[in-house]
Amino acid sequence: MNKDRIYATDQDDDEPFRFNKSVADVFPDMLRRSIPGYAASIEAIGSLAARYVTEGSVCYDLGCSLGAATVAMRQGIRAPDCRIIAVDNAPAMLKRCKEIIAAEDQQSATLIETRLANIQDTDISNASMVVMNYTLQFLEVNTRNAIITRIFDGLLPGGLFLLSEKVIDEDPDMEELLVDLHHEHKRRNDYSQLEVGRKRAALENVLVPETVTAHRQRLTAAGFAHTAVWLRYFNFVSIVAIK
């Protein structure tokens, strides 16, 4: 696993965060050290796939990056005649995703199709499970309602949607505490103060978080009958919604 040192040295010409080759090369380490609870969310995807994926249906990993959720779904699926569609609009990420998938156990009967495309242009149909793992936060806020509604419409009755996001707390004092705890988490994982600061600046206006309430209201408005936060660690949450 290549170590993330992208923001380790000071520069005067920092650009906004992009999912380019430099990020793709270190992404597993970046996730492990930056997102508390990430491994637990991936593990749960496999368990949820075993429970909710139905025969002959399609699963979607929207914003698949390097395919961790895709692989977890395939490992968990027990139903026959299923396939997974993994979508990302970053060529460098999808290229590495294909390599990782190819190196995984190929004995699974569940086929994986990778697509270089925008989520906004992706049709969802015959779906028993859809995953957006830290993806919605990178899309324009004014497009999010339509995307969630499209996912709901494409899910089969009883289908499951898993949404993982960085969030902001409605209480400013608690938000300050959670941000401080997250930064301390990064420092404990060997990120320097410089790296924490540069990464935060690079993500400004690129990653736009919302509150848990906003996410759950959007899911309810789209038509989901049941929603719940099943995992929270500081300002990172995973929400499950069932049609």
**Residue-wise pLDDT tens digits, 102-118:** 887 667 889 999 999 99
Tell me: the pLDDT tens digits for 30-39? 999 999 999 9
Per the domain annotation, does 75 fall within a domain?
yes
- Whether residue 63 lies inside any domain: the answer is yes
Residue 139 lies in a domain: yes
Residue 229 located in a structural domain: yes
Q: Which of 70, 76, 82 is nearest to 47 (CA)?
A: 76
Could you tell me if residue 66 is inside a domain? yes
Please name the amino acid found at residue 56: G
CA distances from 25 to 16, 41, 125, 206, 228 (A): 18, 22, 32, 20, 34
pTM of this structure: 0.94
Question: Any residues with CB less than 8 A from the CB of 63 and at least 6 apart, and which?
Answer: 87, 88, 119, 132, 133, 134, 135, 136, 138
pLDDT, residue 109, reads 85
Domain count, the chain: 1
Domain hosting 110: range is 38-168+209-242
The pLDDT tens digits of the residues spanning 113-168 come to 999 999 999 999 999 999 999 999 999 999 999 999 999 999 999 999 999 999 99
Residue 181 lies in a domain: no
- Is residue 198 assigned to a domain? no
For residue 102, tell me if it sits in a domain.
Answer: yes
The CATH code of the domain that includes 157 is 3.40.50.150
